[in-house]
Structure 1
Amino acid sequence: MATATSIPVGKAEPKDTKTMYNILFIMSLCHLLNDSLQSVVPAMFPILEKSMGLSFTQLGLIAFSLNMVASVLQPVVGWYTDKRPRPYALPLGLTSSMLGILGLALAPNYWMILISVIFIGFGSAVFHPEGSRVTHMAAGKKRGLAQSIYQVGGNSGQALAPVFTALILVPFGQFGGIWFTIVAFIAVLFLIYIARWYSKRLKAQAGEIKRNKAVKNGLGPHAKSIKTAILLLILLVFARSWYGSAISNFYTFYAIKTYDVTIAHSQVFIFIYLFMGAVGTLLGGPLADRFGRRNMIFLSLIGAAPLTLLLPFVGPTVAYILLALTGLILMSSFSVTVVYAQELIPGKIGTMSGLIVGLAFGMGAIGSVALGALIDLMGIQTTMIAVSVLPIFGLLTLLLPSDQQLKEWSGAELN
């Protein structure tokens, strides 16, 4: 492992290559808490559908409001903080989410729900690019592993949504969401600590900003290829996010109708998918460090395709197995896609993280509305069959630049 004193003059590597596991684990925990708050929204869908008589299209619009705000603002926040880092934006963002959760628990009507989820979306938009920047700072040379540790917290938080529904929201209803203000407050306290570390780290890494700008300027001859690669990444995120949106937001209704199970029982299907997705996220980073980013992205989508195509035609027992394997394989590329994008343009850590993760939210938001409308129009089973083909888009990964090409373009070591 290189140290600050052993790096030759003129190299573009950061001075400190030590992996700060304590910071990574705290960020992963905060990511879990942040995404747990977001998960309360879709977890409330069955409750709101009954208590307020909402249609699938209205439920899709709630998810759209939440995810679209987070999606649109994430790359904006990332772009701004690449230029002017704001360590204390992290706890301020979670404070916004805390206010949103409070409003959601007390909302008397549909419009108040929409306003509340916008507050939650804003908090998420601030948290994700800044959280990814802190993770990059703490990663050392283990970028894939670090991003997986960070992202697995978020996936674990999302996986808790069906647990919230079964244990809290079913017995206590909409007002049960007020308990999650405690979760938000705990996250704010952790992020105040992180913000202090972040501030000190910025001073220590001031010279790296200049090096990143030099690397960015060296990418000029490859600008067209980089733009094409970003477009391909957008299409891949689209495929993964739309399929994930179909499962996390609407598979519960599919299970209730097709398998004749209760709301609480239907949440088991979602939990299995999301939990195994979190496991896949954790494994994907270190596997990509060893076998390559592009290879991992390709295998995660194409490997999941046969499972998603089979899922709409099986019984409940086999569905448990297929959902577990699909979550494990499909989500193994989530953190890898972020790292790959960051290595396309090394000097824009926040912007690229905000773009890719924000796209995941945004595509999921558009997918929620479109899928809700399709279900109202065509029925839940036909819609699930239609979305099962999305992972086949993974073939587009073969058109992405290889890891070796990224290394040559940036002039920096990929690990």
Structure 2
Amino acid sequence: MSTLASPAVSARPVSPGVLAAISSSHMVNDMMQSLILAIYPVIKGGFNLSFTQIGLITLTYQLTASIFQPLVGLATDRRPAPYSLPIGMASTLCGMLLLGFAPNYAMVLLAAALVGIGSAIFHPEASRIARLASGGRHGLAQSVFQVGGNFGTALGPLIAAAVIVPYGQHAASWFAGAALIGIALLTYVGRWYSLHLGVPRPAAHGVTAARHPPRTIARVLAILLVLIFSKYFYMASIGSYFTFYLMHHFGIPVAQAQLHLFAFLV
């Protein structure tokens, strides 16, 4: 008769400073991602864009953020890159600066791609660091990490309503300062990560890893992919067009529509 062993908790202590830094950086990263969605009403009027062109901006950002992310994860699995995190945030910084001063639609697409690339570089190593800093409390660490990102996503429309709507497209470049803070935090995190790369992990006594047939693993991963795809499909749709729907159907101003989007995201 087999029994399920309880997960062993690592002897490594939790690193609350690192968890706080990586969660705050996640907030900055996802806040600037959501600013792209929140700025749509401003740039639609400024460049006289169609809804198809708005959708292409979302597609550009999502493709770069999604396609490059597993490639980055594969590369860093083989060779960890502690200082890739501030490099990714630097790409996001360049994207926000370009978005603020983009003279045409093509430059807006390039700005969205740069922010997407920054997100793709950030997430694989940041998730790994959150796990490493967890001290074995992986659920707690991942939750703290995710809360930072979710809060940042919700902040985007609120910031757009308070800053970008009244001051215009150029105000998007002001948030490059937040990216600089993110770069400083991630440099600290990268230094900590580089010091802990060679530290051996304590063995879990009396616990054997469960092994499953490859077909079972593939089936479970396929289900997870379908669930994630369905979630982000409607999240991207609502994030891109909800404000336009509210403005058109209920006749409310842009700033108020952004507050409704903030309420949904938060």
Normalized against structure 2, the TM-score is what?
Answer: 0.91
1:222 maps to a residue whose letter is P
In structure 2, the partner of 1:260 is: 251
Q: SS in structure 2 opposite 1:204?
A: coil
Deviations 1:223-269, CA, capped at 9 Å, x for gaps: 11000000000111122112212222211112122222111111121
In structure 1, the partner of 2:125 is: 130
* Number of aligned residue pairs: 256
In structure 2, the partner of 1:358 is: none
Structure 1 CA distance for aligned equivalents of residues 114 and 225 of structure 2: 26
In structure 2, the partner of 1:273 is: 264
Distance verdict in 2 for CA 1:77–1:154, change over 3 Å: same
Q: Deviation of residue 177 (structure 1)?
A: 0.8
In structure 2, the partner of 1:45 is: 40
In structure 2, the partner of 1:298 is: none
Find 1:55's aligned residue among 22, 46, 50.
50
Find 2:231's aligned residue among 240, 251, 259.
240
Find 1:193's aligned residue among 184, 188, 197.
188
1:257 maps to a residue whose letter is H
In structure 1, the partner of 2:242 is: 251
Structure 1 CA distance for aligned equivalents of residues 67 and 227 of structure 2: 18
Structure 1 CA distance for aligned equivalents of residues 249 and 199 of structure 2: 57
Distance verdict in 2 for CA 1:109–1:42, change over 3 Å: same
Q: Deviation of residue 79 (structure 1)?
A: 1.1
Structure 2 residues not aligned, in runs of 5+? 1-6
Q: Deviation of residue 167 (structure 1)?
A: 1.1
In structure 2, the partner of 1:371 is: none
Q: SS in structure 1 opposite 2:150?
A: helix
Structure having the higher helix fraction is: 1
Taking the TM superposition and a 5 Å limit, the aligned residue runs for 1:77-96 are 77-96=72-91
Taking the TM superposition and a 5 Å limit, the aligned residue runs for 1:184-333 are 184-205=179-200, 219=211, 221-275=212-266
Structure 1 CA distance for aligned equivalents of residues 107 and 100 of structure 2: 10
1:176 maps to a residue whose letter is A
1:125 maps to a residue whose letter is A
Deviations 1:146-187, CA, capped at 9 Å, x for gaps: 111101111111111211221111111111111011011110
Structure 1 CA distance for aligned equivalents of residues 84 and 202 of structure 2: 22
Structure 2 CA distance for aligned equivalents of residues 257 and 265 of structure 1: 13
In structure 1, the partner of 2:4 is: none
Bigger relative contact order, structure 1 or 2 (CA pairs below 8 A, ≥6 apart): 2
In structure 2, the partner of 1:113 is: 108
Percent of residue pairs identical: 38
Taking the TM superposition and a 5 Å limit, the aligned residue runs for 1:398-409 are none
Deviations 1:101-147, CA, capped at 9 Å, x for gaps: 11111110000111121111111101011110000101123212211
2:226 maps to a residue whose letter is L
Structure 2 CA distance for aligned equivalents of residues 145 and 163 of structure 1: 28
In structure 1, the partner of 2:138 is: 143
Structure 2 CA distance for aligned equivalents of residues 69 and 239 of structure 1: 18
Counterpart check, 1:176 vs 2:171: yes
Q: Deviation of residue 24 (structure 1)?
A: 1.0
Taking the TM superposition and a 5 Å limit, the aligned residue runs for 1:23-42 are 23-42=18-37
Structure 1 residues not aligned, in runs of 5+? 1-11, 209-213, 276-415
Distance verdict in 2 for CA 1:77–1:206, change over 3 Å: farther
Structure 1 CA distance for aligned equivalents of residues 81 and 230 of structure 2: 33
1:157 maps to a residue whose letter is G
Structure 2 CA distance for aligned equivalents of residues 205 and 187 of structure 1: 29
Q: SS in structure 1 opposite 2:136?
A: coil
Retained in 1: the 8 A contact 2:58–2:236? no
In structure 2, the partner of 1:157 is: 152
Q: SS in structure 1 opposite 2:82?
A: coil
1:27 maps to a residue whose letter is I
Structure 1 CA distance for aligned equivalents of residues 142 and 90 of structure 2: 24
Retained in 1: the 8 A contact 2:9–2:136? no
Q: Deviation of residue 222 (structure 1)?
A: 1.6
Structure 1 CA distance for aligned equivalents of residues 189 and 10 of structure 2: 20
Deviations 1:206-228, CA, capped at 9 Å, x for gaps: 788xxxxx96xx74x52110000
